Chain A
Amino acid sequence: MPSVKGMTTYPDERLEPAPALRFLRQLAVDTQFILIGFPLGLLALVLSMVGFWLGVGLSVIWIGLPVLMATLLLSRGLATVERARIAPVIGRRMPRPHYKTSRGTGLWQRMVTPIRDGQSWLDLLHAMVRFIPGTIAFCFAVTWWAGTLGGLTFPLWEWAIPRGPDNSDLPELLGLGDAWSTRVVFYLAVGAFFAITLFPVIRGVALLEALFARALLSGVNELREQVVEAEAARDTARAQKAAAVSAEAIALRRLERDIHDGPQQRLVRLAMDLGRAEQQLATDPAAARATVAEALTQTRETLDELRALSRGIAPPILVDRGLQAALTALAGRCTVPVELDAPPFGRLDPAVESTAYFVVAEALTNVAKHSGATEVRVSVQPVQTGLMITIADDGVGGAGMDKGHGLAGMADRVRAAGGVLSIDSPAGRGTTIRVALPV
């Protein structure tokens, strides 16, 4: 069943900066990430290694445990900093993962808890090994920036390089000759090469470092979140199914009651009358004729009741002519004047048409029976991903799910179709029912 989560009536309009500006901004972010990451990586390495091995080594005497705990907490701190740092690089916020919290308040409990927490150990591991991608990235970054800046500004500083008689520049070694222009062009070309490949390279190594960090620092957490999301989706689907089953059961029970109290009684009476007529045929034909006339009336009334019932199950006009025609018929039948705003839809999914129809039908019945309103406004509008239904009256208000006005059944129907229902009914100020249905 489609959910209504993706549905939005007012699209978000964020202003996008010019592409060139975006590139430059990303480049700056990545570069600062790599440059700062290098010394941080070394610092983290030193602290984590020292702390860890000290803790392990000293664990034979009691002080090893608190040292270990302190190291883990320190790693956690570094990890939190790192998560914040990688967010602009990979373009996603990194939420703080779930850490085990200590259940007791004793000193021992509080000390042991970080040691029992898996994510803290992952943080420690990251602190120990992050200098590897960090250093690789740093080397690439420095090289490429130097190449770019140096190459492109070569004419500006090449005069400052001391050139002794034995000096051989790279172009000369490559056999391109010793001319000043050749050198300039060569180094400019090199600079251009570095400049063109600057963005992809920096981006690549920054992502390398950031994704490495993310895998260790948030990987487990993301898995856990996916599981939670999947479970939530499954629970929603189950609730929808339960609502559907419940709505159907309620509707069927109501149908049985209606059939029993209406057409069924009439048909029993009809059988009685015809039996009496048969009896009277021999003895009193005039009375028999009168009885048969009564029986005819019963038949006609039974047919009317059956017709009304069938409208309650699958209204023929909805099935044949679609939602707009059916809504118009509903509006025409309502004893309170109805202002209907519904454009011609074209055929929708039968479940959606049926839910929309019954929501409006039930609401109008309530208006006629309980609200004492002078006017009702019904609006059924197609929106981005569905239908928006609004029924507003100016009656006495005070409607609620528990009042036995069939609103609970309506809510079940709406939920079963994957939609949402809201009732706004302050006492004395009319009732507004809003339903959003996905298509």
Chain B
Amino acid sequence: MRVVIADDAVLLREGLIRLLEENGHTVVAAVGDGPALVAAVAQHRPDVSIVDVRMPPSHTDEGLRAAVEARARVPGTPILVLSQYVEVSYADDLLADRAGGVGYLLKDRVAEVADFIDTLERVAAGGTVLDPEVVGQLLVRRRRDDPLRNLTPREREVLALMAEGRSNTAIARRIVVTEGAVEKHVRNIFTKLALPPDDEQHRRVLAVLAYLQS
């Protein structure tokens, strides 16, 4: 895959470059600020971009805004956003254009190299990936009369994994059950939460997130 990296910390940029190249990918551009990212995406049309949320000049959310702008310029270009801590509103902004190929991970996940590469490939393929911690926070802030309480613990697990953007196969592998069992859980979840059933992975994530955030 051809990858663009945007991160203002030289240390991390170099680390990512080595990591990707050791896993058979090519880094076509490595930049240090938002405008450079947008330009690089427009110029190189990479298979996926990795963007740090916090970049100069104000070190708040330049990276995020650049990612949104890049997606506007090159619709659907897959972007994986990395951030130091969970900020649920970032997820909202990223998913706002309702197109697939978006990911939001904590920087720490980069250390688990195999998972990271897998996530990257999923995003490049058009999937939607959310960090488990983001999903965890979404599941926490609930109302009093919470229909989620009607879910069994297993169903909550499956819901969380769905929100992270995993396919049924991946979920089955993760919690060590058959794919059929997963499909049954998913159907139950959608019924209990009164959501229209949807098999398309990306739309599923959006639906679940929309539900969790309402």
Contact = CB atoms under 8 A, between A and B. Distances in A.
Interface in A238-279: 260-261, 264-266, 268-269, 271-276, 278-279
Contact of A268 (B107, B113, B114, B116): B107
B12 A276 contact: no
Nearest to A283: B22
A271 B108 contact: yes
Contact of B113 (A261, A276, A287): A276
A278 B115 CA distance: 13
Contacts of A264: 84
A280 interface: yes
B12 A265 contact: yes
B82 to A, nearest CB: 10
A298 B111 CA distance: 15
B9 interface: yes
Given A260-B84, A280-B22, A275 B111 contact: yes
Nearest to A274: B111
Nearest to A280: B22
Given A275-B111, A276-B113, A279-B114, A268 B22 contact: no
A271 B114 contact: no
Contacts of B111: 268, 271-272, 274-275
B84 A269 contact: no
The interface residues of chain B, by DSSP majority, are classed as: helix
Interface residues of A, number: 18
B39 to A, nearest CB: 25
A269 to B, nearest CB: 5
A269 B15 contact: yes
Contact of B19 (A265, A276, A298): A276
B16 interface: yes
A279 B12 contact: no
Interface string B110-121: 111110100000
B176 interface: no
A272 B84 contact: no
B18 interface: yes
A381 B84 CA distance: 47
Contacts of A278: 113
B11 A265 contact: yes
Nearest to A260: B84
Given A265-B9, A265-B11, A266-B11, A271 B22 contact: no
10 smallest A-B Cβ distances: which pairs? A271-B111, A275-B113, A272-B15, A275-B111, A269-B11, A269-B15, A265-B9, A279-B113, A272-B110, A265-B11
Given A269-B14, A275-B111, A276-B22, 20 more contacts: A261-B9, A265-B9, A265-B11, A266-B11, A268-B12, A268-B15, A268-B108, A268-B110, A271-B110, A272-B16, A272-B19, A272-B110, A273-B15, A274-B111, A275-B19, A275-B110, A275-B116, A276-B19, A276-B113, A287-B22
26 contacts: A261-B9, A265-B12, A266-B11, A268-B15, A268-B107, A268-B108, A269-B12, A269-B14, A269-B15, A271-B110, A271-B111, A272-B12, A272-B16, A272-B19, A272-B113, A275-B19, A275-B110, A275-B112, A275-B113, A276-B22, A276-B113, A278-B113, A279-B22, A279-B23, A279-B113, A298-B11
